[in-house]
Amino acid sequence: MSARPVRPRLHLHRGIVVTSALWFDPSLLGEREARGRVLATWTPGTAVFAIAGGFLLRLPRVQPVNCATAPGLPLTLEDGVLLSAPLSATERAQLAPPPGSIVLVRAGRAEVFSAEPSRRLDVAEWLDVSEWSTVTVKGLGAPPRPIKVLEPVATPARSLFGGVPPASPEAEAVRARMEGRPVPQALQKVQAASVGASASLWDRLRAWWRAERGTPATAQKVASATPASATPAPGASSSALGRLKAWLQRALAPRVSSTAEAIPQLPSGAPAKAQVREQRPGAPSLLSRMFGFLRQSLFPASAASSQPALPPPSSPPPPRGPGLVSRLSEWLLRNTPLGPLLGQRKAEYVQRLFEMFEKGNLDEALRHAIPLGAEKLTEQARIALGLPGPRESLAIQTRRGGGAAIFGGGQEIYSALKERYRAAFKRLEREGRIDEAAFVLTELLGAHEEAVSFLEKHERLRLAAELAEGRGLAPGLVVRQWLLARDIRRAVAIARRSGAFPDAVLRLERTHPSEARTLRLLWAETLAEAGDYLRAAVVVWPLEDAHPLARAWLEQGATVGGVSGARALARLMLAFPDAFASAQASALALLEDESHPRAAERLAFAEVLATEQRSEPRTLLVGPAVRALLRDRAAGHTRIDASFLTRLLRDVGDGTLRADLPTFADPRPRNWAEEQGAALLHERIAATEAGPYPIHDAVALSSQRILLALGEGGVRLIRSDGTRVAHFDVPAFWLVPSVHEDRVLALAPRGELKHISVIEPGPRRARHWCDAKVDAFAPSYDGNLWFLAEADTVMAVDALATDGLRALWRVSQVGGVVVALEADADSLRFATFGREPQLWTYALPGGPTLRSRAERRHGDGLPMVVVDEKTARVERVDGFLVSPPWSLTSMRTGEGHQVELSAKGGPARARFLFEGEARVRARFCAGELLIFDTTGRLLRVDLREGAARRIPVQ
């Protein structure tokens, strides 16, 4: 304020003026009347401040007002200053009001006030709602239907292979132990009844306790062959104490290599019996040291004589031995009654299996056959000490010495069984028993791909498809088999979920060209429906009779606009010369445009020209394209180098154009993130810069266009200067854009549900899609699949479905409520909130595959959450965003919300202060950053150039 009071000649505006604000004086109107007028004038986007003892209402947009009938004192905006009266140049010079201030003329004197953020009022507090109660709203319509799910196909059951007999109870028990599962009680009873009549488990334990081995019959033979001198003295082994001492002596004494374990006798022609292989000792475990201490205490002489010599200093350290549980299991098998019993039972079981194959009794052999899969044994399966248990040594212990540790001769028995299974397969094939032969391949030999090929060869196409999917084979093979089985819908769904279209087409082209053509067309149609028109045309181009379809897609892609539209336009004009005339006007309008927003489109158009071969349409377009690029480069709109222009002009016959090219050094592309010592970019956005509409979300599109979610006010598409391009009358609080920019999903809350709409910016259309319960969702999608979460279930929903949500993949019970989720072309990540908050990561190529599951840590890139103490609800904290190499933090300060932008964890590169109470949100979009709030303020930051620009929404 000036030192001397300024008394203007005019004290207020008269007539009709373009008003930017109104001031209400409670001393004249009364407090209640003043507040009532403010509330009556208030509209969304209005800001109210406490100024000079009254209320200043800043209108969302300027409007003409008759001063005689205005509800308050009108103020006009002149050079950034709000004036309640027209001031002369001299009067204004005496006041010297700073930009953003307010000048009020009261009692003949002009005074200057500041609209500080702390003076802003929340008019909602003026409404007395103390007697109101909150009621949970619920839609009056029918609840949404459950989300349909493409259920996975389970591994084909044994019953699907015609002619294969059911497995015997003993074989089922073997399988349970091989998979590390407890044997069901019913199977245990049946198995116990099937054990030899002369050798019950109790008899075997009692025989072992009497120092006998094997069955009671074999124990009698051992006892009769024992010399009389070896009979223990009375009182030594006849008592329990003596027997315990003898057992400890045998267990703790130094182990001597022996081949006394039971090995089944292989039939003639089988591989030789297993030989005991020398094994390098592992590092002593805690259990080994404990037994060593006991051995040294009880038997010092033997312990001393059995001490191994230390390795020389130059020898490498011994390899790491098995785990503690494995060593304990091995010790129990070697030094307790279970070891001999298991060995004997396994030997008998395998011996009977060999006899069944030798006698040609294939039905009975298949009932008792042991699967020879390629999976590794789990720790639980290794210590499964039940009976019979041959799988522990035969399943996959195919590495040298793997099977001998538990069952002697494991490798040789494995090979022998494999030979018997292969011979059985050939015999079944000769006899025409196709399903049984396929069962041997997949279930017993683990040759799943061979089994699929075998079933396809014999026209068992559906079973082949079920086997390929159930066994988790390559997605391309699965898609191929379902297409051959004539289940086209499932084939396309799996191909879309896994991205296996290219692999499946290549597999089919080698053997089934007609089906390959069908799948290629379905692939191209899926891409076109997802908005990737250019790639759809490329995919279908090898089919000559499908060129009209490719042309229609390119024409549709050209109407989308933006960078992708410019590429589609160039491809259309080069691929179809007859379309050149109709599209020439659009191309020349693009190339002759000099505006900065369309520079990216002109560069994309030229990039397509540079990759194409010489043709008449290309020659006609190269000249205007080069001139447009040079003009954009001189204006600083784009960066090109001489090599690019050389490629563009390589086939142009006009030498004058090449000769007239200016010489310029290749520009070094600026990368603001890599610049060292760059100046801090700082912007302060005043509260008085509030726009007319609340901005809940924003998405940057190509050609400098921006899509704004205005809540219940709909969705607005604007240019870089804030002018409106189109308005879509659908509610939107969140926007989910497709990477192809041809459509955007708009979400709005409706109680526990979300109202989801689809917006098409190109043709300017919007439609309602569905209402569904969505708790978390990916902020963008590829036009094909959209990842979302409901409670503790994550789904990949079909974005092309028209009758509501349909999931092509899902994972349930992830250990907590999913609170944040993001996905790109390579991976899916989501965070859960529960007893142990976790971060899940899935790889997407080839179908979602779990890669990691770890404890959540701050800075993992996904929003964190907190629990509201009043409502006990989980709420996201959007104060930290990551988009490598950039990270953004937002914090509340005394003046408003401060946003800091950093690159690669270094110091701040930019700092933006949004005055006021409104919470600030942000979104990274393809090299740009949008920062916005519900007061209508919008800031656009170019992350390549390091420039920020305010966008006034109109």
Spatial separation of the C-alpha atoms in residues 833 and 876, rounded to whole Å: 11
Measure the CA dihedral 327/331/337/342, to 10°: 50
Instruction: Using the structure block, give the residue that is written with the tokens 């390589």.
Output: 650
415 has pLDDT over 60: yes
**Please, are residues 434 and 459 in contact by the beta-carbon 8 Å criterion?**
no
Nearest to residue 105, comparing CAs of 143, 75, 134?
75
Side-chain-side CA neighbours of 671 within 13 Å: the count stands at: 9
Mean pLDDT of 443-462: 91
Q: Which helix (H) or strand (E) holds 774?
A: none
Both tokens assigned to 565: 């539209």
Report pLDDT digits (tens) over 881-917: 888 889 888 888 878 889 999 987 788 889 999 987 7
- Helix axis angle, 513-529 to 501-511, nearest 10°: 160
Q: Is the pLDDT of residue 694 over 50?
A: yes
**In this structure, are residues 507 and 476 in contact, taking their beta carbons and an 8 Å threshold?**
yes
Band of residue 509 on the pLDDT scale cut at 50, 70, 90? very high
Both tokens of residue 425?
A: 């397969």
Cβ-based neighbours of 874, under 8 Å, separated by 6 or more: 817, 819, 833, 865, 866, 867, 868
Judge whether residue 324 has pLDDT over 60: no
Cα Rg of the chain, angstroms:
40
| Nearest to 777, CA basis, from 761, 793, 800 | 793
Q: Give the three-state DSSP class for 767.
A: strand
- Closest residue by Cα to residue 927 from 880, 885, 899: 885
pLDDT band at 366 (very low <50, low <70, confident <90, very high): confident
* C-alpha to C-alpha distance for 62 and 72, rounded to whole angstroms: 15
Give mean pLDDT, residues 452-463. Answer: 93
Q: Return the minimum-mean-pLDDT range out of 206-215, 255-264, 405-414, 642-651.
A: 255-264
Q: Looking at this protein, which amino acid is placed at residue 425?
A: F
Lowest mean pLDDT segment, chosen from 12-21, 67-76, 208-217, 711-720 = 208-217
Q: What is the widest separation between alpha-carbon atoms in the chain?
A: 138
Per residue in 7-34, pLDDT (tens digit) is 888 889 999 999 999 999 999 999 999 9
- Read off the amino acid at residue 530: A
What is the pLDDT, as a whole number, of residue 240?
55
Amino acid 333: pLDDT: 59
Q: What is the C-alpha to C-alpha distance for residues 800 and 492, in angstroms, rounded to an integer?
A: 12
Strands 47-51 and 120-121: antiparallel
One DSSP character per residue, 750-789 reads ETTEEEEEEEETTTTEEEEEEEE--SEE-S-B-SSEEEEE
CA neighbor of 866 nearest in space, from 853, 845, 880: 880
Q: How confident is the model at residue 842 (pLDDT cuts 50, 70, 90)?
A: very high
Q: Report whether 81 contacts 102 (CB < 8 A).
A: yes
Chain CA centroid to CA 361, Å: 51
Tokens 């204004």 belong to residue: 92
d(CA 65, CA 183): 87
- Reported as a pLDDT band with limits 50, 70 and 90, residue 220 is very low
Q: For 947-951, what is the mean pLDDT?
A: 90
Mean pLDDT of 604-620: 87
Mean pLDDT within 403-430: 71
pLDDT of 223-275, one tens digit each?
Answer: 333 333 333 444 444 455 555 555 555 544 444 433 334 444 455 444 433 33
Lowest mean pLDDT: which of 156-170, 338-352, 429-443? 338-352
Least confident segment among 121-130, 380-389, 514-523: 380-389
**CA of residue 368 relative to chain centroid, distance:** 43
β-sheet bridge partners, residue 187: none
CA distance 675 to 909: 10
CA distances 98 to 3, 95, 101, 109, Å, are: 15, 9, 6, 18
- Rounded to the nearest 10°, the torsion over CA 364, 367, 369, 375 is 170
pLDDT at 245: 54
What distance in Å separates the CA atoms of residue 320 and residue 165, rounded to the nearest whole number?
44
The pLDDT of residue 665 is 62
- Closest to 661 in 3D by CA, of 633, 688, 682, 685: 633
The answer to whether 852 and 830 are in contact (CB under 8 A) is: no
- Chain mean position to CA 518: 30
Confidence tier at 815 by pLDDT (50, 70, 90): confident
Residue-level pLDDT at 917? 78
d(CA 860, CA 820): 11
d(CA 390, CA 369): 11
The reported pLDDT for the residue numbered 338 is 59
- State the pLDDT confidence band at 330, using cuts at 50, 70 and 90: low
Would the pLDDT of 488 be above 90? yes
Mean of the pLDDT values across residues 420-438?
Answer: 90
Mapping DSSP onto H, E and C, the string for 274-332 reads CCCCCCCCCCCCHHHHHHHHHHHHHCHHHHHHCCCCCCCCCCCCCCCCCCHHHHHHHHH
Q: Is the dihedral of CA 732, 737, 738, 740 positive or negative?
A: positive
Find out whether 288 and 324 touch, Cβ atoms under 8 Å.
no
Query: What mean pLDDT is predicted for residues 80-93?
Result: 90
**Among 708, 631, 613, which residue's Cα sits nearest to residue 936?**
708
Residue 548: pLDDT band (50, 70, 90) is very high
Q: How confident is the model at residue 75 (pLDDT cuts 50, 70, 90)?
A: very high
Which whole number is the average pLDDT over 726-749?
A: 94
**Lowest-pLDDT choice from 340-354, 391-405, 481-495, 588-602:** 391-405
**Lateral strand order in the sheet of 849-855:** 817-823, 827-833, 838-843, 849-855
pLDDT at 378: 37
DSSP 562: H
> Which of 101-115, 638-652, 684-698 is least confident?
638-652
| Confidence label for 385 from pLDDT (cuts 50, 70 and 90) | very low
Q: pLDDT, tens digit, for every residue of 649-693?
A: 877 665 666 666 666 665 666 678 877 777 889 998 887 787 878
Q: How many CA atoms lie within 13 A of 411 on its CB side?
A: 12
- Minimum mean pLDDT among 231-245, 507-521, 758-772, 852-866: which range? 231-245
Least confident of 138-152, 590-604, 706-720: 138-152
Query: What share of the chain has pLDDT > 90, as a percent?
Result: 35
pLDDT value for 355: 82
- Render pLDDT for 295-305 as a digit per residue (tens, 0 to 9): 554 444 444 44
pLDDT of residue 697 exceeding 80, the answer is yes
Query: What average pLDDT does the structure give for the chain?
Result: 78
* Angstrom distance (rounded) from CA 644 to CA 661: 13
pLDDT of 161 reads: 83
CB 170 within 8 A of CB 349: yes
> Rounded CA gap, 716 and 713, in Å?
9
Secondary structure class of 372 (helix, strand, coil): coil
Pick 244 or 766 by higher pLDDT.
766
